[in-house]
Structure 1
Amino acid sequence: MDFTQWAQSTMLMDENAWARHANPKSVYSRFSILPLLSLAIWSREWIGWYCVIAIALCLLWTWLNPRLFGPPKTTNNWASMGTFGERIFLATDKKDLPTHHQHVCLLLQLFTAIGVPILFYGWVTLNIWAVVLGNLWVMLFKAWFVDRMVWLYLDLKDTQPEYASWLKRG
């Protein structure tokens, strides 16, 4: 099991959770998770071990977010289609993805991962510039990955009736 499969199984994403996560409010508010987690970790400087509560709240927000918002009335938007592409990406053996997506998706995940040690360094040393750079780096490449997921969805939506059924035009 790779990291993405582990993460998906940890999130317990069922059909209802995926439908709710397709809400743009869910997608865009997820971009708050990493900065909030950084703030929670940084708060150890101010509140000591109570920062564990703040970190736990961030982890709860991560799990709760895809379930918090209702299914959108329309899914004909970047955020919803990014969610659909991610759903396909997570459920598909990577070698079965269209060739023009395989390497790019892998590279985007790799580039995203490059920011993680920078972010960890910033968290451990309380180096504000490393935290800011790590956050921006990870979020930039995550947004680019979501954009690629839109493309993946648009390429595959007509290959299976289930995929096509996710698209609701308002």
Structure 2
Amino acid sequence: MIVVVVWMWLNPRIFPPPASTNNWAAKAVLGERVWLNRDKIPVPEHYHCVPSILSIVSTTGMVFVRSCHWIFSDLVRIFTGLTQESFEQTDA
């Protein structure tokens, strides 16, 4: 956690501002800033559903990835015969 906080403080100080904001990464950052500032400067109503849709899509993708991880890790254990206990055994 400390590393993340240090990086967030250090990052804007060691890298110069972008030469252009005409690329997708800069536009994404600017869009986040606009959305976070929506209490002071209102965002048009028709844009309010976009963050919710993106959150639903992202959550669905993460559930899918996690489910695949569980399924494939179980299949690896079944076909290889490896279990957690096999890693915990010690030579006594």
Query: So what's the TM-score if we normalise by structure 1?
Result: 0.31
Larger radius of gyration: 2
Asked if 1:114 corresponds to 2:60, the answer is yes
Unmatched segments (≥5 aa) in structure 1: 1-10, 21-66, 128-170
Aligned-residue RMSD, C-alpha: 3.0
The aligned amino acid for 2:36 is L
The aligned amino acid for 2:47 is H
Cα distance, 1:125 vs structure 2? 2.9
Matches within 5 A, 1:1-170: 13=8, 17=11, 20=12, 69-93=15-39, 96-126=42-72
In the other structure, the counterpart of 2:76 is: none
Cα distance, 1:100 vs structure 2? 1.4
Q: 1:91 to 1:124 in 2, by over 3 A?
A: farther
CA distance in 1, matches of 2:24, 2:14: 19
CA distance in 1, matches of 2:30, 2:63: 29
Aligned length: 66
4+ aligned runs moved over 4 Å, structure 1: 11-14
Query: So what's the TM-score if we normalise by structure 2?
Result: 0.51
Query: Percent of aligned pairs with the same residue?
Result: 30
CA distance in 1, matches of 2:17, 2:37: 21
Unmatched segments (≥5 aa) in structure 2: 74-92
